[in-house]
Every structure is written in structure tokens, then in C-alpha cells.
Structure 1
Amino acid sequence: MPPRHHAIATDIRHQITNGHIKPGERLPSETALANRYRVSTVTLRRALAVLQGEGLVEKIHGKGNFARRPLRKIVYIGGWGTLDPWTAAEAALRVTVRSTTVQAHGHLTALLKVPTGSPLAELRCVTYAGDSPHGLARIYTPRDLAPVGVLDDESSRREAARRFGLLGLPPAAVQETACARPPTPDEASTLRTHSSAPVLAITRVATDSTGRVVEAALLVFPGDKVDAVFTTHHVTDERQTQP
């Protein structure tokens, strides 16, 4: 049998998603809910914490807990990664972008295979559906490979952010590693998610025909706000098709 607070969270979630509790509506007090479900306030708060982590309930200090509109998902298209706005449940996507030059250190030196201290172009992009953050992307490329103007021109930065890439020459190979994990404190703050709610983390490394790493992207999405789609293309050996 699942823990009692999960059963309570399931019941309240159902009331929100089926419209019985409207978006923006204040939930009964925690004491009233605890009495309704015949549990302690500690157990009730655990249930609410689950819903807060999912983004279905927002706690406003001094006012109470409020239902939020059920989340709409966006779709990440694997390969040379981008967002697919047509499958984003008609969510109005917008992106904020911050660009700068940083020095390679720690895991960046390993990802990009460059010496410590090497200059890197960095784009930090946050994707929103309405006012809700749906994704964080940190994109890096060796500074000498960054396309002209991408760090300075607003339209170039936004196009790069939309594709989660700096829009250089098409890479010869792209490797993506995906995992589910808890967010870092910075990611939880940026994505406004609970520290215990899992995120989908994708590390994408692009290389040219010589094997040089031309770009690395660190992508993080709240696990309940995104679907990732990867398509495999099977290559047929022409020799096997010849008569």
C-alpha cells in the first residue's frame, strides 16, 4: 500500500486536473484538509509538498495553498537538439538569453577537451511557457569557433537559444546523454521546482569531422514538463542492395 500522503496527493491532483478545483482557487486550510483526510498536519504537508514539486499547488506565505493550472509539456527533439513548439500544447514559448565569455574549468575542460582556462563562449537560456520556466540550457563552444555576432547580436542569440545551439557549421557527430536526477540548488531556483522533484538532464556534445569538440550543451528540464523524442535512422549498406 502506498504511503498515505501519496494517496492524498493523488486525490487532490485529480480534483485539480478534472477542474473540480479551479486554477487560482485557494485550497482549504491545512488543518481543514488534515481533518478531512483524517491525518496529521505533518502527513498533509507531505502530500502538499508532492503537488508543489509537480507545480500543481503553489504555497503563498501568509495566504495559503493555491491550485495552479495543470502543466503543459514541451517536446525536446533529440539529435541536433531543438524544441518542437507545435507539440507544446499551444503554449506560448519565450526565451531569455544571457551571453558571456568564460574560462574552461572542471567538467567543461573534459566535455570540450580543452586546457583549463581556455576561453569559451557561453549562452545561458531559460525557456518559459507563459510565466512558468520549462527549461534551462547552458551552451558552450571554444571562443574561436563561436559564430560572429552570436554573443552580441540579439536576434542571433535568440535563434541560437531556440535551437539550443550556437549555430556554427553542422557537426559531423552529436552524442547525447540523458538521465533523471535531482536538480542542483541553482537549477531548482531557476526552474522554480522542488529540490526533490527529478529533472531530465541532457548533455549534448557535438564534434566535427576531425573529432574536435565544437560545442557542448547542458540542458535541464523539469521532469513533468517535457517529453524527449529521439529518432534512429538506419543506414543501409549500398553494397547489400546491389544485384
Structure 2
Amino acid sequence: MAVHTPRYIQIADDLRNRIRSGELQRGARVPSENEIREQWAVSGITARAALAALRNEGLIEGVRGKGSFVRLKSPLVRLAPQRWNRTGAEGPRPTYSLEAERAGQPVAVERSSQETQASAEQAERLNINVGDPVSETKYFIVMDSRPVSCGVSWEPLAITGTTEIASPAEGPYAALGIVGRFDRIGVHVDEVEEVLDCRMPNPTEAQILHMPAQGTPVVAIQQTWLAQGMPVCTADVVFPADRYEFRYRMQIK
């Protein structure tokens, strides 16, 4: 018995193949709903379903008043573990700074810090007590006028509270990144653990990162930095999956 493939899937398959073959290149306009109706002799409902399927896969995106276009893939590349190397005359630089430089893109960073108390989850990750004072820093990073990440980090004030890095968003070392900042107070960060989760963005993340309502997931990374086994910072960072490529190259011993 032959299996019938719905018409909208056939249309989506055809457009997908044209995108992947390069016939429809990144940034190219894809056929509109009306053009699909005429070319494939289908209803508006079927045409909309075909375009929706491609949007949900993250292959195309709509621009109000202009139509749908093949999604642009960002040249931003995040390398691991090389990005944590202590290099350069000024010491370690924030990862986003290196990535923007490599991609030839201007970068803007918004960050703000405040003192708060550790929640149960933060306390567990930092190996401190619930309610212990921590600095909480929120980050928002834009490259080439497009949001590329947002996040929040926590550092135990028992370690940094009386130092020049107590407020991560301020002070003479704010632009150095976590490894460089802790180097300045004699705390040698020698390990970082990252846990990656690919999921759909929540409404707040979608709004902050200017993401479409459907189709594009985020890569959510839970990070914890340690100095000789002692957690000194933990963070939750979210990246739109279509704006970053995560590349891992590690030695085999």
C-alpha cells in the first residue's frame, strides 16, 4: 500500500532541497504564499503549512512586509578548549571579544552587577551555604547590531568581597573576563565545566535576543569555574543556535 505524502510536506521538501543545494542561498527570498499557490496549484492553507514547516526547522525567517528569506548563518565560532588559554600581553580576554575580532564584527556589551543572596541552586553549584552573599551580574552581548547572547553569573563575595573585582561589571578589570579578573587577585582559575542544553527559548529569552517565536532553538550553557577544585563563579548563558557555531577540538592522550 502506497503511503501518501501530504502536499505541504512535498513542497517543503522541494524548497528545503533547493536551500541545501545552494540554489536558494543564504539571504535569498523564498517563494511567497501566493507564488506557492500558483506554482504548485494548492490552497493557501497548504502553502502556509509548507512555509511554517521550514520556519519551524529554522531554515527560513519572515520579514514583515517583505516575505520569507533563507536564514543567514552567523560566522561566529566558539572554540573549545582553546578559548580558555592564557594568552596575550594583557592576559586572558573575554571569549566574546575574541570571537567578535575573529569574525570582524563590532561588539557591544551591557552588564550590571548587584549583591544578593545565593539561592539553593547557586549555593550547590558554588559549594556555599544558601543565603551566603554573592555578586550577581547580568550580561547582554550584541555583535554587528544583533543580540548574540544573554546570561547571568554569580560569584561568592567571601572570595571577592574585599577586592577590586567584587563588582564584576565595574572596576579596572571588568573587561578582562572571569579568568583574567581572578588572576588579578591571585586566584588561579584552572578548570571550567560546561553543561550544554539545546532547547527552545522561553518568552523572555526570545524577546531579549530578538528571536522568532518559532523555529530556532537556543544553546543554554551552565558554566562553573574552579580554582584548585574550589568553585569561584557559576553562570547560565543562552545563545541563539543560528548565530553561533560551537566547535570542539581536543587532544587525545
Q: TM-score, normalised by structure 1?
A: 0.72
Distance 2:57 2:70 in 1: 12
- The structure 1 segments of at least 4 consecutive aligned residues displaced by more than 6 Å after TM superposition are none
> Match of 1:17, SS?
coil
Match of 1:144 among 144, 151, 158: 158
> Match of 1:108, SS?
helix
Q: How many residues align?
A: 224
1:188 corresponds to 2:202: no
Change (3 A) 1:39 1:77: same
> Match of 1:110, SS?
helix
Change (3 A) 1:113 1:180: same
Distance 1:87 1:39 in 2: 48
User: Partner residue of 2:25?
Assistant: 17
User: Partner residue of 1:7?
Assistant: 13
User: Partner residue of 1:57?
Assistant: 61
1:220 corresponds to 2:224: no
> Match of 2:232, SS?
strand
Change (3 A) 1:232 1:33: same
Distance 2:176 2:61 in 1: 33
Distance 1:190 1:165 in 2: 27
Distance 1:165 1:43 in 2: 53
1:45 corresponds to 2:48: yes
What is the alpha-carbon root mean square deviation over aligned residues?
Answer: 3.5
1:72 corresponds to 2:74: yes
Change (3 A) 1:41 1:230: same
Following TM superposition, by how much is the alpha carbon of 1:133 offset from its aligned partner in structure 2, in angstroms? 1.3
Distance 1:96 1:117 in 2: 27
Gaps of 5+ in 2: 85-93
Following TM superposition, by how much is the alpha carbon of 1:58 offset from its aligned partner in structure 2, in angstroms? 3.1
| Matched AA of 1:202 | I
Following TM superposition, by how much is the alpha carbon of 1:55 offset from its aligned partner in structure 2, in angstroms? 7.9
User: Partner residue of 1:176?
Assistant: 194
1:104 corresponds to 2:118: yes
The 8 Å contact of residues 125 and 136 in structure 1, kept in 2 or not, is answered as yes
Change (3 A) 1:139 1:30: same
Of 85-94 and 187-196, more deviation after overlay is shown by 85-94
The 8 Å contact of residues 31 and 68 in structure 2, kept in 1 or not, is answered as no
Query: Once the two structures are superposed, what CA deviation does each residue of 1:108-151 show, in whole Å capped at 9, x if it has no partner?
Result: 22222222222221222222222221122322211233452544
The 8 Å contact of residues 198 and 223 in structure 1, kept in 2 or not, is answered as yes
| Matched AA of 1:17 | Q
| Matched AA of 1:130 | D
The 8 Å contact of residues 194 and 224 in structure 2, kept in 1 or not, is answered as yes
Change (3 A) 1:165 1:15: farther
> Match of 1:10, SS?
helix
Gaps of 5+ in 1: 22-26, 236-243
Report percent identity of matched pairs: 21
Distance 1:55 1:102 in 2: 41
1:202 corresponds to 2:221: yes
| Matched AA of 2:243 | K
The 8 Å contact of residues 189 and 226 in structure 2, kept in 1 or not, is answered as yes
Distance 2:237 2:138 in 1: 10
